[in-house]
């Protein structure tokens, strides 16, 4: 399988392609602001199925495909019955005969991998237990809009669980020469294999990976503080236990005071106000970029569609 024909993990795309995609996203954003819509995907369709809930991803892929002149089709995973009603292989082979691409949110990363392996159309990972590449591209766009094209030497400090979003942001940082800092309670770090995969890129591009178990140590040199839920979709059973560990890992005014004065905050959303981030930070739109990043999901994903659908 040629992994560059899909977006299964950001790791599969090189820095040049990531930057090119972000440039397309910035151009598409300007076009939308000028009410310019293209017809490049006229007659084209993407099939979308989401095993987990979504507001941003499900809306932006549908709006984005429509703005490009194509049509999204929302499929119900329960109705499809993956591995119950039929095999992933047969689902991929049939869908490939009808749609020009697939956008899939799932639990196991292996599902997007298998759909790509067995089908003949591009597969886009719209979040799995392991990765969220579309979120990372939207952050890349947001940071380039803020700091300019060369992000080398910038530092993303992720305050929270070493989860799917953290994994994809770490890859973004490694590929673009940024530093990635994780602050989490002991035992909630990213898997060592995920970190090791990024090390050659950190080394080559001049960035570094660090992990702290005290959030105060992590923010001193940050350009962006990143927040996400402590309890990801599918982990609801661990909610009470996780909350006790994560209480000190809240982004609030006190923590922000320890960061450089130019430092901004963002969140992939949905946010649990009062838990991983306070109302005070969420409502401070001078420093909180999360709604800009949410808007950029639309543009970044349209750019991904332009890169993959032919």
Q: Is 235 a catalytic residue?
A: no
Category of 107 on φ-ψ map: left (φ > 0), alpha (ψ -120 to 50) or beta: alpha
| 223/293 with CB nearer ligand NVA | 293
Q: Give the list of residues 6+ apart from residue 261 with CB closer than 8 angstroms, or none.
A: none
Catalytic one of 11, 67, 135, 301: 135
Q: Based on the shown chain and the rule CB under 6 A, indicate whether residue 232 belongs to the binding site for ligand NVA.
A: yes
Q: Binder to ligand NVA among 116, 165, 298, 306 (CB under 6 A)?
A: 165
Q: What pairing do the DSSP bridges indicate for beta strands 155-159 and 179-183?
A: parallel
Catalytic one of 6, 56, 105, 118: 105
Q: Give the list of residues 6+ apart from residue 55 with CB closer than 8 angstroms, or none.
A: 269, 270
Give the gyration radius of the chain's Cα atoms.
19
DSSP assignment letter at 191: P
Q: Tell me which of ligand CP, ligand NVA, none is bound by residue 55, counting a contact when its beta carbon lies within the kind-specific cut-off of 5 to 8 angstroms.
A: ligand CP
Q: Based on the shown chain and the rule CB under 6 A, indicate whether residue 266 belongs to the binding site for ligand NVA.
A: no
Residues 24-83 binding ligand CP (CB under 6 A) are 54-57
DSSP H/E element including 206: none
Q: Backbone phi, then psi, for 236, in 5-degree steps?
A: -55, -30
Q: Is 66 a catalytic residue?
A: no
Catalytic one of 9, 132, 267, 299: 132
Q: Based on the shown chain and the rule CB under 6 A, indicate whether residue 135 belongs to the binding site for ligand CP.
A: yes
Q: Is 134 a catalytic residue?
A: no
Supply the residues annotated as catalytic.
105, 132, 135, 228, 268, 297
The footprint of ligand NVA (CB under 6 A) covers 127, 163-165, 228-229, 232-233, 268
């Amino acid at each position: 399988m040629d992994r560059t024909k899909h977006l299964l993990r950001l790791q599969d795309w090189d820095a040049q392609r990531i930057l090119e995609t972000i440039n397309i996203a910035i151009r598409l954003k300007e076009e939308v602001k000028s009410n310019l819509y293209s017809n490049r995907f006229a007659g084209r369709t993407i099939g979308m199925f989401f095993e987990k809930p979504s507001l941003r991803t499900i809306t932006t892929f549908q709006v984005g495909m429509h703005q490009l002149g194509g049509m999204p089709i929302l499929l119900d995973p329960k109705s499809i019955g993956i591995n119950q009603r039929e095999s992933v292989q047969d689902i991929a082979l049939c869908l490939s005969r009808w749609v020009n691409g697939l956008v899939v949110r799932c639990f196991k990363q292996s599902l997007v991998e298998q759909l790509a392996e067995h089908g003949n159309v591009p597969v886009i990972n719209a979040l799995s237990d392991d990765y969220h590449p579309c979120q990372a591209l939207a952050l890349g766009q947001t940071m380039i809009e803020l700091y300019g094209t060369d992000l080398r030497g910038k530092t993303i400090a992720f305050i929270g669980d070493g989860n799917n979003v953290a994994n994809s942001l770490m890859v973004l940082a490694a590929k673009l020469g940024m530093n990635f800092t994780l602050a989490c309670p002991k035992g909630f770090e990213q898997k060592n294999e995920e970190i090791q995969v990024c090390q050659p890129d950190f080394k080559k591009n001049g960035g570094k990976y660090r992990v702290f178990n005290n959030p105060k140590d992590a923010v001193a040199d940050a350009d962006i503080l990143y927040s996400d839920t402590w309890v990801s979709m599918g982990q609801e059973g661990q909610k009470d236990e996780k909350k006790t560990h994560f209480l000190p890992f809240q982004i609030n005014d006190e923590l922000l005071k320890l960061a450089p004065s130019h430092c901004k905050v963002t969140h992939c959303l949905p946010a649990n106000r009062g838990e991983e981030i306070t109302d005070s930070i969420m409502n401070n739109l001078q420093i909180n970029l999360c709604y800009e990043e949410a808007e950029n999901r639309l543009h970044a994903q349209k750019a991904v569609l332009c890169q993959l659908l032919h």
